[in-house]
Chains A and B, each alone.
Chain A
Amino acid sequence: MSLELHGLLTLGSLRLEAHLEVGDEIVAVTGANGIGKTTLLRLIAGLLALDSGSLRLHGRLLDEAASGLFVPPHRRQVGLMFQDHVLFPFSTALENVAFPLRRQGLGATEARRRAQRQLDHYGIGALADRRPPQLSGGEAQRVALARALVGRPAALLLDEPLSALDAGARAEFRRLLRDQLSALPGPKVLVSHDQLDSAQICDRAVTLCWNGSAVVIRPAPP
């Protein structure tokens, strides 16, 4: 398995017993509101640390409570797409997409060239010079996806990528997601409360549920 998570996280009143293995596939994570779906993604991205157990990506240990090993998020190559895009408000769409390329050490000119190509590829090349407030919800979400994928992360996490969109934009973005995620090798984990979204985009689904003493991950009922 590419992503192997076996561990426990306690955060406030949440007690998450996470056992999740994801191969080269798209897995949907469903579950009630507030149960801990976002927390699970933050754990894999490295914004939270395990209290016990371990997390591996492609065999590489990212987090191991027993040894104290913890790889910080910027060295994990794990992309995270937030629920409401979180594009940098002070940058244009192009600069947002160029950001991860620059962090990988690419020169400014080359990063911008590749960012423009990425935007073109997503059908939003004309929006390159717009700032986030000037983008519609669907456009901003496309830029956010372009930004998350442009650096070719080893794994990609998506938190409710469709929830902010209206019905029309949703169907279109669902197709784009399906195409782009299938083209990216590695494990992909998508949090969604919408059955249709997860069924159309994902290969399989798991669900977070309360087993009486902790929140656990179970295969979703078909």
Chain B
Amino acid sequence: MARSVRHSPRLLRSLLPLSLLAVLFLALPLVGLLQGVRWTSLLSDLAAPQAREALGLSLLSSLLATALALLLGLPLAWSLARERFPGRELVRALVILPMVLPPVVGGLALLGAYGRSGGLIGGWLHQALGVQLTFSLAGVVVAQTFVALPFLVLAVEGGLRGIDPRYEQAAATLGAAPLACFLRVTLRLLLPSLAAGTALAWARALGEFGATITFAGNIEGRTQTAPLAVYLLLESQPAAAYALSFALVLLSLAVIIGLRGRWWSLGR
């Protein structure tokens, strides 16, 4: 094994102990959460109606939101990466907006558009199609999709831009028609970015709080997702709140393991 050669100022090398501080800062709350969990009653706490319903609702709504984000996001990511159209930079800025916008403000904006009374098209949605988004599962899904979409679009767009065009050109000279080229080469090369974007979007949808409570409300069994339930149970049943939190940590852990190799790896 060769000795590694480094070229960085001596002062910066002494930052290693300092970076330990950041690690502690991140790790301590996690430990705090774990020591708050009442392990002996973990399963029964999770099985209590409010916690169980909230968790089930969260799983269902976040999966639906992820599917909707894929449906809406893939064409947009493709257009941003491969097409030239006027206002493309503006569209990209718009895509990033929900990422930086405070979620509560996002929820308020959703009310302004899709709210049944006073929303731009909310009244029409209700009268013409009989669809009411506020205070319904559909509203939860819309709120989650709103905040999750940017993660998917940016990951997939980045993935598409990273594809060496010569692979697609080679496929074409080997007789692949555009559709076959897309399905057998482009999509295949895009798979890691697509998986990462989907996982991130799902995680973001699962953790959504502000936009959901503002737009879809907080109705037990209907729009009360796990993050909302954690916040509310903390007063009345802290053990249930911790049990739910622990379940969410496990789900987040699954996402991180799913992203292994993309942003981190076990050894080298």
Query: Taking beta carbons and an 8 Å cutoff, which residues of A are in contact with B?
Result: 45-47, 72-74, 76-80, 82, 86, 88-90, 99-100, 103-104, 147-148, 151
Residue in chain B with minimal CB distance to A73: B172
Least distance between A92 CB and chain B CB atoms (Å):
13
**Can you list 13 A-B pairs, Cβ within 8 angstroms, ordered by A?**
A73-B172, A73-B173, A74-B172, A74-B173, A77-B175, A78-B173, A79-B174, A88-B167, A88-B185, A99-B171, A100-B174, A103-B176, A148-B174
Report B152-176 CB contacts with A as 1/0, cut-off 8 Å: 0000000000001011011111111
B260 at the interface (CB under 8 A from A): no
Q: Given the complex, which residues of B lie within 8 Å of A47, measured CB to CB?
A: 169, 172-173
Give Cα distance in the complex from A131 to B178, angstroms.
Answer: 24
CB distance from B46 to the nearest CB of A (A): 40
B30 proximal to A (CB < 8 A): no
Binding site for A on B (CB under 8 A): 164, 166-167, 169-178, 180-181, 184-185, 188-189, 191
> Does the CB pair B169–A103 fall under 8 Å?
no
| Closest beta carbon of chain A to B195's beta carbon, Å | 13
By Cβ-Cβ distance, the 8 closest A-B pairs, closest first, are A103-B175, A100-B174, A73-B172, A80-B173, A86-B170, A74-B172, A86-B166, A90-B188
CB neighbours (8 Å) of B174 from chain A are 74, 79, 99-100, 103, 147-148, 151
Residues of A near B166 (CB, < 8 A) are: 82, 86
Q: CA A90 – CA B191 in complex, angstroms?
A: 10
Q: With A86-B166, A90-B188, A90-B189 as known contacts, state yes or no: A72 contacts B171, CB within 8 Å.
A: no
Q: Once the chains are docked, how many angstroms separate the CA of A100 from the CA of B10?
A: 56
- Quick check: B167 and A86 within 8 Å, CB to CB? yes
Contacts of A76 in B (CB 8 A): 173
Q: Most B CB atoms within 10 A — which of A72, A74, A82?
A: A74
Q: Is the interface of B mostly helix, strand, loop or mixed?
A: helix
Distance of A151 Cα from B177 Cα, bound (Å): 15
Known contacts A88-B185, A90-B189, A82 near B172 by CB under 8 Å = no
B268 CB to closest chain A CB (Å) equals 16
Distance in angstroms from B107 CB to nearest chain A CB is 41
Shortest Cβ distance from residue B155 to the other chain A in the assembled complex, whole angstroms:
19
Tell me the complex Cα distance, A188–B184, Å.
28
Q: Which B residue sits closest to A91, measured CB to CB?
A: B188
Chain A's closest residue to B189 (CB) is A90
Q: How far is the CB of B168 from chain A (nearest CB, A)?
A: 10
In the bound complex, residues from chain A placing their C-beta under 8 Å from that of B169 are 45, 47, 73, 80
Chain A residue with the shortest CB-CB distance to B175: A103
List, in ascending order, chain B residues with CB within 8 A of A82's CB: 166, 170
Q: Whole-angstrom distance from the CB of A101 to the nearest CB of chain B?
A: 9
Q: Look across to chain B and name the residue whose beta carbon is closest to the beta carbon of A76.
A: B173
Q: A82-B166, A86-B166 known; A74 and B176 CB under 8 Å?
A: yes
Asked if A45 and B173 sit within 8 Å, CB to CB, the answer is yes
Q: Distance in Å from the Cβ of A23 to the closest Cβ of chain B?
A: 22
Closest B residue to A45 using CB positions: B173
Most buried by A among B164, B170, B173, B175: B173
Instruction: Identify A72's interface contact among B164, B172, B188, CB under 8 A.
Output: B172
Chain A residues contacting B181 (CB-CB under 8 Å) are: 74
Instruction: Kindly state the separation between the CA atoms of A145 and B254 in the bound complex, as whole angstroms.
Output: 43
Q: Return A64 CB to nearest CB of chain B, in Å.
A: 20
Task: Flag if B189 contacts A74 (CB, 8 Å).
Answer: no
By a CB distance below 8 angstroms, the chain B residues around A99 are 171, 174, 176, 184
Q: Is the CB of A74 within 8 A of B167?
A: no
Bound-state Cα–Cα, A82 to B169, Å: 10
CA distance A151 to B175 in the complex (A): 9
- How many angstroms from the CA of A78 to the CA of B169 in the assembled complex? 12
Q: How far is the CA of A88 from the CA of B183 in the complex (A)?
A: 13
| Nearest A-chain residue to B170, judged by Cβ | A86
Which of A79, A103, A147 is B180 in contact with, Cβ under 8 Å? A103
CA distance A45 to B166 in the complex (A): 13
Q: Roughly how many angstroms separate A82 CA and B166 CA in the complex, as a whole number?
A: 8
Nearest neighbor of A79 in chain B, beta-carbon distance? B173
Q: In the assembled complex, which residues on chain A have CB atoms less than 8 Å from the CB atom of B177?
A: 74, 103
| B261 shortest CB reach to chain A, Å | 14
Closest to A84 in B: B166
A47 vs B168: C-alpha distance when bound (angstroms): 11
**Bound-complex Cα distance A96 to B176 (A):** 13
